[in-house]
Structure 1
Amino acid sequence: MKPIINLEGKVGLITGIANEKSISTGVAESCIEAGAKVIITYQNEKTLAFLEPIVSRLGVEDVLLLDVTKPETMDEVFAKIDAKYGKLDFAIHSMAFAKRDDLHGRVVDTSADGFALAMDVSTHSFVRLARKAEPLLEKAGGGSLITMTYLGSEKVIANYGVMGLCKAALEAATRYMAFELGSKNIRVNAVSPGPLMTRAASGIAGFDGLMAAAVDRSPLHRLVTPEDIGALVSFLVSDAGRNMSGGVHFVDAGYNIIG
């Protein structure tokens, strides 16, 4: 049976895979099932070991080093994509980081260097990725950029701290870049999943409580999965999503509508 979403002939870059439970794992799986050729990245040699079973299972050929705190690695990623494929149809940004004290502490107590680091990795890295991807997306006749956000961007979530500010800025960047790149047929969107247990989420105090509340209070009374997020992303990067840009798209069983 042919997939509903068709990504045959498309080449996509997917960042942020840490292990089988990562959001980006579900995204990669959905895009590959729809026919896309996928390039995935890893942060360092330590994280590469966790990717190996995923790479093997999904049959991914291109696994590249990308540490957004080291600009040369981003340069190398896009140079290799250009050399091998000569284009890029979509790129998925799924990276965030904040120092533990800044994440769990009060926003008013955030250190200057911690704030700068969180914004650099969580927000400005998407801007840098978009700038590097732009020429390759143009070669494809246009394409799609997607980042991952969270409800903490617009509502106060306990223990989310400075990351809430980063996600708010990330969503603003999504809108501005959608405006700036639209004339080149490049779409920019943000996907906002409900709470699910990933390696990143495990660092947020009380996250089990957030998941329990999502099940209890959301209209559909269930948690989302990486596969649910992958299904939305594969739609957005496909031709079916060709007129969707600049939006924040929730996949959270309706939790975001609850006051």
Structure 2
Amino acid sequence: MSENAHYGLLKGKKGIVFGPLDESSIGWQIAVHAHREGASIAISNVAAAMRFGNTDELSALCGNAPVIVCDASKNEDVDSCFGELKEKLGKIDFIVHSIGMSQNIRKQLPYEELNYEWFMRTLDVSGLSLHRLVSYALKNDVLNDGASVLALSYIASQRNYWTYSDMGDAKSLLESIVRSYGPRLARRGIRINTISQSPTYTKAGSGIPGFEKMFEYSDLMSPLGNASAVECAEYAMTILSDLSRKVTMQNLFHDGGYSSMGATIPMIKLAHEVLNDKELAERVGLEDFKPAK
């Protein structure tokens, strides 16, 4: 989809995007694309992100979209947010959850030595907040029948990615909440899904130790290569639109085919070279990760 090619997929719809920070963030791109597809949107983030991000710029790009300060880990904030949203936009047709944070990753604590207070904070902000958003949206009667709820996940919810640490647990919780809420929302035709995106150079993603290596590996392992934030936003438009009205409780992989691959020829060749180059194998610490016998 080029910058000038839009399809009116969200014409007449209203929604809110939680968590956009700057142009690199997927939430930012989803907000911009939703506006281009005809939606009226609101933007929400915590106060600190409002200060350090470019929220005012995003608001202007989205037709002077209302900006609502909200900490999605606090009941009173979320309740107030949806009350304000209903006053400003009326009832809405979609919610986008683009929220994630781990102090353990930020401080580079190994998984075996997690700070448990920070761990609980990771689970609350990155996972449980989705339950809170949906629950308070229902309590405030802000969701239209047939609405779409979408959250952003990562394949580390299902497979181990060493440096993704407690965020992998948070994404598992996020996807479980989607499955648990799915049948309950379906009675009103509301669907809820996650998109499992490729590694993406966002502020949050880039803070993961060794992220550039994860990115390069994923790109080599994906038949179509890594998906960008813009491409994720384009895909998200179909999930927010009526074109996906029978899609719910799904974790939708948007990763260039990575999630279905065993190995690619380039990766097999690289592994072969490393295994047969003792100096290189030692330099990358291969012996440290060999299974015990």
TM-score under structure 1 length normalisation:
0.92
Q: Tell me which of 157, 162, 165 is aligned to 1:158.
A: 162
The residue number in structure 1 matching 2:272 is: none
In the other structure, the counterpart of 1:24 is: 27
In 1: Cα distance, 2:62 partner to 2:91 partner: 22
SS of 1:142's equivalent? strand
Contact 1:149-1:171 at 8 Å conserved across structures: yes
Counterpart of 2:133? Answer: 129
2:242 corresponds, among 221, 224, 239, to 239
Q: CA deviation at 1:255?
A: 1.0
Alpha-carbon distance in 1 for matches of 2:143, 2:129 = 22
Question: Does the 8 Å CA contact 1:103/1:163 hold for their aligned counterparts?
Answer: no
TM-superposed CA distance for 1:122, in Å, is 0.7
Change (3 A) 1:249 1:86: same
Give the partner amino acid of 2:249: G
Matched-pair contact (CA < 8 Å) for 1:102–1:115:
no
Q: Deviations over 1:172-222 (max 9, x none)?
A: 1111111221112110100111011000012100000111112212111x3
The percent identity for this pair of structures is 27
Q: Quick check: 1:258 aligned with 2:261? A: yes
What is the correspondence of 1:42-191 to structure 2 with a 5 Å cutoff? Answer: 42-45=45-48, 47-48=50-51, 49-100=53-104, 104-134=108-138, 140-191=144-195
- Structure scoring higher RCO (CA < 8 A, sep ≥ 6) equals 1
In the alignment, does 2:19 pair up with 1:13?
A: no
User: Number of aligned pairs?
Assistant: 258
Judge which range, 56-65 or 103-112, deviates more.
103-112
| Residue identity in the other structure for 2:202 | T
Deviation by residue 1:81-129 (Cα, 9 ceiling, x = unmatched): 2223331110001111111358743433323312211111111100000
Q: Per-residue deviation at 1:46?
A: 5.3
Q: Which residue of 1 aligns with 2:273?
A: none
Residue-by-residue CA offset, 1:22-52 (whole Å, 9 max, x unaligned) = 0011111111111000100121155345222
Quickly say closer, same or farther: Cα 1:102–1:26, change in 2 above 3 A: closer
Q: Pick the structure with greater CA Rg.
A: 2
CA contact (8 A) 1:11 1:36 kept: yes
Which is worse superposed, 65-74 or 232-241?
65-74
- How many angstroms does 1:232 deviate by? 1.5
Cα separation, 1, equivalents of 2:143 and 2:168: 35
One-letter code aligned to 1:224: A
1:4 aligns with 2:7: yes
What corresponds to 1:216 in structure 2? 220
Distance 1:183 1:138, change over 3 A: farther
**Alpha-carbon distance in structure 2 between the residues aligned to 1:5 and 1:136:** 28
Deviates more, 1:19-28 or 1:93-102: 93-102
Matched AA of 1:128? R
Structure 2 residue runs of 5 or longer lacking an equivalent are: 263-293
Q: Is the 8 A contact 1:102 1:114 kept in 2?
A: no
Alignment gaps of 5+ in structure 1: none
1:42·1:64 contact (CA, 8 Å) conserved in 2?
yes
TM-score after normalising by structure 2: 0.82
Q: 1:62 to 1:78 in 2, by over 3 A?
A: same
Q: Distance in 2 between matches of 1:9 and 1:57?
A: 18
Tell me, yes or no, if the aligned pair for 1:90 and 1:137 is still in contact at 8 Å: no
The verdict on how the C-alpha distance between 1:247 and 1:139 changes in structure 2, with shifts beyond 3 A counting, is: closer
